[in-house]
Structure 1
Amino acid sequence: MIRLDNISKQNGHQILFIDASMSVQKGEKVGLVGPNGAGKTTLFRMITGEEEPGDGRVTIEPGMTIGYFSQDVGEMSGVSAVAAVMDGIGPLSTLATEMARLEAAMVDPAQAADMDAIVERYGDVQGRFQELDGYALDARAREVLAGLSFSQERMDGDVGLLSGGWKMRVALARILLMRPDAMLLDEPSNHLDLESLIWLEDFLKAYEGALLMTSHDREFMNRIIGKVVEIDGGELITYSGNFDFYEQQRAVSERQRQAQFDRQQARLAKEIKFIERFKARASHAAQVQSRVKKLDKIERVEPPRRRESVQFEFRSPPRSGDEVANLKNVHKSYGSQAIYAAFDFQLRRKERWCVLGANGAGKSTLLKLVAGATEPDQGSVTLGASVRMGYFSQHAMDLLHGDDTVLESLSGSFPAAGQGSLRSLAGCFGFSGDDVDKPCRVLSGGEKARLVMAKMLFDPPNFLVLDEPTNHLDMATKEMLVASLVKFEGAMLFVSHDRHFLAALSNRVLELTPDGVHQYSGGYTEYVARTGHEAPGLHPGQ
């Protein structure tokens, strides 16, 4: 269906692929993995024809339709989200846009003189829209958008007024509505809340076409894919199974390759020792020459390419009092929408609360109230004795000074710290070598998140308030963060759509629903077992 044969490709001086081959067959669901910069997006672009390989061949089955979702969604404005989603389906989108314009014209007193012509044109356009089954498509588009957590109001509003994250969802919905023969999805799980993520997971499981995707969400990958293609040092290596199985197989393969390398090195050392010992003796000249020739003919085993994984070690935070945060009789509204009414909540030392709730339930508002980033309309929010808070929000990334380098930004926050310790800190969060000299303005979303996280955790707080901390992080950084936070001795209050993160770190669940607020002892895994669903509002089997 899709084949890459002996592909070679380089960007500037960077070699991405050398004689690399892979295939995706009909109905296969394949995860594409590899470190940042390995060439995942380039591979997608070669399949779609946006880029050509330097050498080798890309073969697509004739007549096959391909839908490609990337993080670069392009410009969207002037139409509703529904119309923008249908835009990928061809003429129907044009007709839907014209119908919306004519409907507006029919209620515009300034155009009363042209009303007959407007109504006649509307009849023609509507008739053609019906012929092409446009109303069914409109319903399907709304169904997909609802699955991605769009309200009716947001569906019908100007897509140009949406944030970048919501525009990403529109672009993703466009590909899902197409139902092409093959989908290429580059990080589709970014910017989704937990409910949307679970809906997308079910949609992709039921999708019958070929799927090639990247994702930094381990659980999401595990539940969808049955094959992994890894980009490793210019090669494309195929593994059967889900992501967990791939990691196990990769570890076995690495151990075998290391053992093979060690055995060969031992043999080579023995031969070299003999040559060095007897090369000056005429009586051993023939033997020495024979062994030199033998060495030249041996095909050398390469050691496995090890992925660097640096761990961040928490210094012990100062001990807080037993009561960390207390909310009493809290009321909070935005306009006419009441988020909290007479809300009471207490968080104690060593408790790790994850907050669950559908979009608009008030998850981020709760974190802002506790962090002091917003005030309650009524009631009180107090922190306990000796509480030192670390607050991570998406807004914090916007506060980095663009002209500061990574190292200057860290130095500005911790002027008393030595350069060595700050460089080590930067290294733990993925900034090695010259990366520390990058200005903040050129950092990606993931790099900014890592820098803010590094600043927050260096001078250890004893209470962490984290709003979607894994949103922009790659899998390796997430693993490092989870491993570090498992050892964290303080209290936590956090929101995340990453189920691996939720399960690994929570020991309490706060569930926000239209029926009220529910508290569960035990972590996210116990919550799922007890309620039968993975997020509020989802029923067993959904």
Structure 2
Amino acid sequence: MLVGLNNVTFEFGARVIVEEATWHIHPGERIGLIGYNGTGKSTLLKVIVGQYTPSVGTVEKGRETTIGYLHQDLLSFDTNDSILEVALTAFERVKQLEKEIEELGIQLEKNSDDEKLLELYTDKLHELDVIGGYTVHHRTEEVLQGLGFANADLHRPYKEFSGGWRMRVLLAKMILQQPDVLLLDEPTNHLDLPSIEWLEKYLMHYQGSVVIVSHDKFFLNRMVNKIVELYQQRLHVYSGNYEYYETEKEMRVELQQRAYENQQDYIRQQERFIERFKAKASKAAAAQSAMKRLDKIDRIEQVEIERPNLRINFQVDKQPGKVLVDLKNVTKRFGDNTIIEKAVAEIERGDKIGLIGANGKGKSTVLRIVGGTEQHEGERVWGHNVQESFYAQHQLESLNLNNTILEEMLSCGSGKTELELRSLLGCFLFSGDDTDKKIRLLSGGEKARVALAKVIVSKANFLLLDEPTNHLDMNSVELLADALNKYEGSILFVSHDRFFISKTANKIWEIVDHEIKEFKGTYDEYVAWKERMAKQQQQSAKEQKAATATPELAKSPTQPATPVKNNNDNLDREQKKELQKLQRQFARLEEDIAKMNAEKSKQEQDMGNPDIYSNKQKFASLEADYKSIQQKLNTANKEYETLFEKIMEMEQQ
């Protein structure tokens, strides 16, 4: 056991968060901590790390156990250091050794014959090698790049980045520290799809235990082998992923309900027997015995799943024309950064479009361009009778913290009466006195529900939603997806929640090479198509590699070279030639990268040789070569990605 709760009860003011909870975290476990919004999942993590002390019971931790805890409060940290420097603070001992080695090196330049100094210098170099000091920069860069940072960003000051990007830096630092137990509170909230997929792969091979609070079903299904549910102040443990939990919980509820009904039948039988015979002298003793049996019986509680039920009912006031928005040759730049260039796109009545892709590609910018709140070059033509409503994360920040929930709803000018608004807020789980709560006292999920309620009250026929599922629990995400499926209007939404996208979108938009690429189909169909394209690309590369390996066949006068089959009948002859040229470059680049990786591995192996450290010149030369090969690899990998995107774009034509 690494960490354990033993019979823990924790109260937050007058409210009980958890009661008589026992939970032990063992090595190698990947646990999903789930529960409805407001049940206290984040609070429970704070109890585990010792920020809160339980009212009853104990929290036990192994003497050597280390815990990493990623949470929203970390965003108060600020510094002028680069993000690379911030992430490298994960390696305190390495940083200390590097400083000591540098100082010893300066001393050795002055006293090169000092054997004790040379011995100490060699010892420090050896220790640096043993703890993997020569690879920390590479590992840190790899993790930061995996989480979506470009090479150019690594040396930018941490304070220049927004909250979401800062959270990624702190996540990088935490996973580089490799604690025995990693506690992650909503880690996917600030990640785009490529970064979530990278994090999944990374955590799959993580040596320690991981506890994840998340509303992302896809993420939990891939990541966890145990679910701990905080429900009705109790912890319920399920051995399996989220899908298993859903099935198992249903079975448990069904069995308990059946046992309850059987017991109720028995109780009614006994009560009828007692009522009938208690007055008869001959049966009085039997009736008395039956009463005693009923008094002693351990009563089974009826199972009623308390599930918050968002009763979302979108209303549409007017029917729009066939085309809601038409983008014609739209260009948007921020300084040297081009988001889209001469982009063309159209949104038709009934479209429910998921706008996806990596952060920094401009998804939210495109959403604002469509909504008319972002200046741009080119035309944005608005359709007939279009009434839009915009939901974005910044709206949570723009809520008036001093307003009550009801006052906030009254201020949005919907024209609805106080009674009508109270009824609507009841659908969003704000009932009775809840509507008189101040906005500043609400959790992230509760603020998100208020902002969503403001969108719904508008009766718009076109919704623009920027990350609408952030801060919502899984049940609320499902209910929102169901409501949007029934919604008669059109939607353009940005989301990284794959479950939500797959349930809601009937079209996918992706920003590729500064253009808006449209895929007419669901998210699942889009993923399947991407996988087919990737396989086809790999096959083409293999065929091209085979062709270049046997040039004599290609040059044979009796047998003309067969072009690589690429299944692109829509390409003209020149385009096909260009595609084949790109495929040949791609194959050569693959070979170069493989050679460079082999060379880099050999250099890393050489760095593990203690003899190298005794010769300062050899060591300096090896270090310079290692940095050089890293730079070449970074450049080659960038070129590889660019070529891959170009080939895929041509194959889609």
Does residue 187 of structure 2 align to residue 188 of structure 1?
yes
Contact 2:388 2:461 in 1 (8 A): yes
SS of residue in 2 equivalent to 1:180: coil
Equivalence for 1:26: 27
Matches within 5 A, 1:323-334: 323-334=323-334
The whole-number CA distance in structure 2 between the counterparts of 1:482 and 1:438 is 27
Unaligned segments of structure 2, at least 5 residues: 111-117, 535-640, 646-653
Secondary structure in structure 2 of the residue aligned to 1:354: strand
Contact 1:390 1:465 in 2 (8 A): yes
The answer as to 2:487 corresponding to 1:488 is yes
Paired amino acid for 1:22: W
C-alpha separation between the residues in 1 aligned to 2:90 and 2:52? 21
8 A Cα contact 1:77 1:161, kept in partner: no
**Separation in structure 2 between the aligned mates of residue 62 and residue 463 of structure 1, nearest angstrom:** 57
How far the C-alpha of 1:520 sits from its partner, in A, is 1.3
1:267 aligns with 2:266: yes
Matches of 2:63 and 2:274, distance apart in 1: 60
Q: How far apart, in 1, do the equivalents of 2:27 and 2:462 lie?
A: 49
Percent of residue pairs bearing the same amino acid type: 39
Q: Contact 1:317–1:490 (CA<8 Å) still a contact in 2?
A: no
| Structure 1 residues 345 and 413: CA distance shift in structure 2, 3 A | same
Q: How does 1:53-452 map to 2 (within 5 A)?
A: 53-73=54-74, 74-93=76-95, 132=128, 134-276=133-275, 285-310=284-309, 311-376=311-376, 378-413=377-412, 416-452=415-451
Deviations 1:305-329 (A, max 9, x none): 5223323122344221111100111
SS at match of 1:72: helix
CA distance in 2, matches of 1:129, 1:361: 42
Offset at 1:356?
A: 2.2
Aligned partners of 1:357 and 1:512 also within 8 Å: yes
- Determine the structure 2 residue equivalent to 1:521: 520
Change (3 A) 1:186 1:99: farther
Distance 1:403 1:42 in 2: 24
The AA in structure 1 aligned to 2:87 is V
Measure, in 1, the Cα distance between the counterparts of 2:418 and 2:286: 56
Alpha carbons of structure 1 residues 380 and 96: separation in structure 2 relative to 1, 3 Å: farther
**SS at 1:318's partner residue?**
coil
Paired with 1:85 and 1:251, the residues of 2 have a C-alpha distance of 43
CA distance in 1, matches of 2:330, 2:339: 10
CA contact (8 A) 2:144 2:172 kept: yes
Distance 1:374 1:259, change over 3 A: same
Following TM superposition, by how much is the alpha carbon of 1:135 offset from its aligned partner in structure 2, in angstroms?
4.8
Deviation at 1:280, TM superposition (A): 5.6
SS across alignment from 2:529: helix
Give the aligned length.
519
AA of the residue aligned to 1:436:
T
Aligned to 1:44: 45
Query: Partners in 2 of 1:511 and 1:209 — Cα distance?
Result: 36
Bigger Rg over Cα: 2
Distance 2:466 2:225 in 1: 32
Larger helix fraction of residues = 2
Please tell me the residue identity of whatever aligns with 2:367.
L
> What TM-score results when the alignment is normalised by the length of structure 2?
0.73
- TM-score scaled to structure 1, two decimals? 0.87
Aligned to 1:109: none
Question: How far is 1:368 from its partner?
Answer: 0.6
Q: Can you list the C-alpha shifts for 1:199-236, whole angstroms capped at 9, x where unaligned?
A: 11111112132222111111100111111111223332
Q: Which moved more, 1:5-14 or 1:242-251?
A: 5-14
1:299 is paired with a residue of what secondary structure?
coil
Instruction: Name stretches of at least 5 consecutive residues in structure 1 with no aligned partner.
Output: 103-115
The verdict on how the C-alpha distance between 1:380 and 1:211 changes in structure 2, with shifts beyond 3 A counting, is same
1:15 aligns with 2:16: yes
In the TM superposition, residue 81 of structure 1 has moved relative to its aligned partner by 1.4
Tell me what 1:108 maps to. none
Q: Shift of the alpha carbon at 1:531?
A: 1.1
CA gap 1:534/1:366 in 2 versus in 1, 3 angstroms: farther
In the aligned structure 1, how far is the partner of 2:295 from the partner of 2:171? 55
Matches within 5 A, 1:467-506: 467-506=466-505
Amino acid at match of 1:209: G
Which deviations, in whole Å up to 9, do the C-alpha atoms of 1:315-365 show, x marking residues without a partner? Answer: 344221111100111121111222222211111111122122322222111
- What do the CA deviations read for 1:118-161 (whole angstroms, capped 9, x no partner)? x99xxx9x997996354521221121111111223432222233
Alpha-carbon displacement from aligned partner over 1:180-214 (angstroms, at most 9, x marks no partner):
22212222112111111111111111213222211
Cα–Cα, structure 1 residues 36 and 360, in superposed 2: closer, same or farther, change >3 Å?
closer
Match of 2:250, as an amino acid? Answer: A
Please state whether the residue corresponding to 1:532 is helix, strand or coil.
helix
2:43, 2:477 → 1: CA distance? 24
- SS of residue in 2 equivalent to 1:172: helix
> Could you list the per-position Cα deviations for residues 14-50 of structure 1 after superposition, in whole angstroms to 9, with x for gaps in the alignment?
2333332222322221111122343433433343333
Q: Is the 8 A contact 1:429 1:477 kept in 2?
A: no
What CA distance in whole angstroms lies between the structure 1 residues aligned with 2:61 and 2:160?
37
Bigger relative CO (Cα 8 Å, ≥ 6 apart): 1
CA distance 1:18–1:533, change in 2 (3 Å): farther
- In the alignment, is the contact (CA less than 8 A) between 1:141 and 1:177 conserved in 2? yes
2:341/2:515 contact within 8 Å kept: no
More deviation, 152-161/267-276? 267-276
Change (3 A) 1:97 1:190: farther
- 1:413 Cα deviation (Å)? 2.6
Output the amino acid matched with 2:214: S
The structural deviation recorded for 1:273 is 4.2
- Mapped to 2, the partners of 1:508 and 1:227 lie a distance apart of 34
What whole-Å deviation, never above 9, does each CA across 1:92-135 have from its counterpart, x for those lacking one?
Answer: 456789999x9xxxxxxxxxxxxx99x99xxx9x9979963545
Cα drift, residue 496 of structure 1: 0.5
Q: Give 1:521 deviation, angstroms.
A: 1.1
SS of the aligned residue for 2:256 comes to helix
| CA displacement at 1:279 relative to structure 2 | 5.0
